[in-house]
Amino acid sequence: MVEPGILLVDKPRGLTSHDVVARTRRAFGTRKVGHAGTLDPMATGLLVIGIEAATRLLTYVVGADKTYLATIRLGQSSTTDDAEGEIVDVAEPAAVSGITPAGIAAHLQALTGEISQVPSSVSAIKVDGRRAYDRVRAGEQVELKARTVTVSRFDVLAERSGDGHLDLDVIVDCSSGTYIRALARDLGAALGVGGHLTALRRTRVGPFSLDHAAELENISEASLLTPAVAAGQVLTAIEVSADEARDLRHGKRLAGQAARVCGALAAAIDPDGTLVGIVAKRGQDMKSSMNMPEESR
């Protein structure tokens, strides 16, 4: 029997997130595998994988904030806002050499905080039931609506001058749904020279860090986070008695216990250290929003 758990994987470049899920299914001998947040084939880094009943926890991970390391090339624009597209515009070398650290800092500041962002047309966003990138590949013109995202950190770590371009290594802390390709595009546009992404690596998803991720070729030997441990990292964990655990599993409310839930949701852990489920406030009561199978620890 396959034990449920959360697997942290360092996705290599050139593979889709679905490819990683497929390899995980083979490695663990189960079809019940999912992931919390897609990484493009060009991108590398942390992919959070759920196995068996732990896939139920992924919905609580998808919306977590994230950290990325990226390289932005200023002076060139591409059809996809990243290195996988065709270069369609190249700035004059004098314009690129005229970029100043103060100018970069000012435009980074403008792209920090709560901002309105138009996703790249080759994103995975669905338009009338089809992915935007599928429509673009089919030759359609796609215009996506702006969405509000939060960029809490957008800092330059290093810069390198190239042949008519300037590369910036940056670190970005952002809300779920933020497109780093769009940040590269918008920074280049604001500086008047164009820009696109040449490298992207995700280092954090909520409480989960790339430091604890397994290489893809070693996932069959990787240690899984139990549902209880993983849920306790994503949400506040609260201990419940055996009687309370039984009532929650049977769909009963715990009368007058809402104050034990800090925030909107919490992870209820029974005396054996098993995740009972995710609980929420219902008036003055506590009630389960999602129950785990009883064998899931």
What distance in Å separates the CA atoms of residue 297 and residue 272, rounded to the nearest whole number?
A: 8
> Counting Cβ atoms within 10 Å, is residue 260 exposed (0-12), middle (13-18) or buried (19+)?
middle
CA distances to 47, 144, 200, 208, 270 from 41, in Å: 12, 21, 10, 21, 40
The token pair at 181 is 């390709």
Task: Name every residue whose Cβ is closer than 8 Å to that of residue 181 and which is 6 or more positions away in sequence.
Answer: 80, 81, 82, 120, 196, 197, 200
Residue type (1 letter), 115 = I
Rounded-to-integer distance, Cα 22 and Cα 16, Å: 10
* Residues with active-site annotation: 40
Residue 43 structure tokens: 């991108």
- Within 8 A by CB and 6+ apart from 8, the residues are 46, 47, 48, 49, 208, 209, 210, 212, 213, 214, 222, 225
Contact in structure between 187 and 107 (CB atoms under 8 Å): yes
Residue type, 33: V
DSSP 176-189: TT--HHHHHHHHHH
Phi, psi of 13 (to 5 degrees): -70, 145
Q: Which DSSP helix (H) or strand (E) runs through 24?
A: helix 17-28
Rounded Cα–Cα distance for residues 132 and 122 (Å): 6
